[in-house]
Amino acid sequence: MQTVTSLDMLRTALAGLRADGARIALVPTMGALHEGHLTLVRRARAEADHVVASIFVNPRQFGPNEDLDAYPRQPAADAAMLEAEGVSLLWTPGPEAMYPAGFATTVSVAGVSEGLCGAARPGHFDGVATVVLKLFNQVAPDMAFFGEKDFQQLAVIRTMARDLDLTRPHVDAIIGVPTVREADGLAMSSRNRYLSPGQRTAAAALPRAMREAIAGIEGGAQVAGVLLQLEAGIIAAGFSSVDYAALADARSLAPLAALGPEPARLLVAARIGDTRLIDNMPVGPARR
Ligand code: AMP
């Protein structure tokens, strides 16, 4: 595995990988890697000739009072994990390589960016869309892999890719990978390491309460009542607040007052101590 930190090095390395028409997959991350990230890498390896992974803690997707400085960083351990998974190229730009002095452009995706985490974290998805568009332009991958763990992010990226012709029409080159969970059901996240042992135990109540809510909704219970009960259950389990608990159309992320024929998703963001956790699960007979 080659590690590159400048655009010039990246371009040279990519030219070498592309020889003979090899297909390149991109796996963007912010590092502090866990099995969730490595699952994306494995999927990418299975579908492409070379995997390019990026590690960049993107300052533009953190709000002024968020955890940018505290965000876990473990570059040597991350590189070793990626190398062991057969990644060909690791792209780890510093902030000045990604956003040189005078950087003035922001990409904003209307609609899917606006509710849920977009409402709770103003500017977050503009930061995500801007950096992901840059990564696409820098690497020019044939396909890119993202986790359903960040379901709204995946919807934002799919919309941007369609609107800005990042991928060929009718080719699903943005590939979503189901959420990888700990044995007790908690979605893996780099932020789980902020949790104290007591908080870590309590956090498993989130996916449990979500599964109960889904059973209620699928069983015909009134959605608004189920969501209120879900919020109360999360707080009773030891969370300090719930940013949102919503049933949404799985494609548009528009809120749903009732389950219809289209694929739906239950999405939650809640805080335990200072740590904000998100999770989402499919809802409905098709469970898509
Ligand atoms: P991050 O480093 O948190 O920005 O995540 C990088 C990529 O890994 C994103 O596409 C995430 O959605 C994905 N990811 C993070 N956690 C998980 C997980 N538990 N299961 C599947 N994908 C994940």
Report how far residue 150's alpha carbon sits from residue 33's, in angstroms, rounded to the nearest whole number.
Answer: 15
Q: Is residue 171 part of a domain?
A: yes
pLDDT digits (tens, 9 = 90+) for 72-130: 999 999 999 999 999 999 999 999 999 999 999 999 999 999 999 999 999 999 999 99
CB neighbour list of residue 105: distance below 8 Å, 6 or more residues apart = 130
Q: Is residue 189 part of a domain?
A: no
Q: Which of 27, 29, 42 to mutate to test the pocket of ligand 1 (most atoms within 8 A of CB)?
A: 29
- For the question of residue 50 being annotated catalytic, the response is no
Record the pTM: 0.97
- Which domain CATH number covers 37? 3.40.50.620
My answer on whether 11 and 72 are in the same domain is yes
My answer on whether 157 and 247 are in the same domain is no
Domain containing 233 equals 195-282
Which residue type is seen at 199?
Answer: Q
Q: How far is the CA of 37 from the centre of ligand 1 (A)?
A: 5
pLDDT digits (tens, 9 = 90+) for 162-190: 999 998 766 679 999 999 999 999 999 99
Report how far residue 272's alpha carbon sits from residue 274's, in angstroms, rounded to the nearest whole number.
Answer: 6
My answer on whether 163 and 38 are in the same domain is yes
Q: How far is the CA of 148 from the centre of ligand 1 (A)?
A: 8
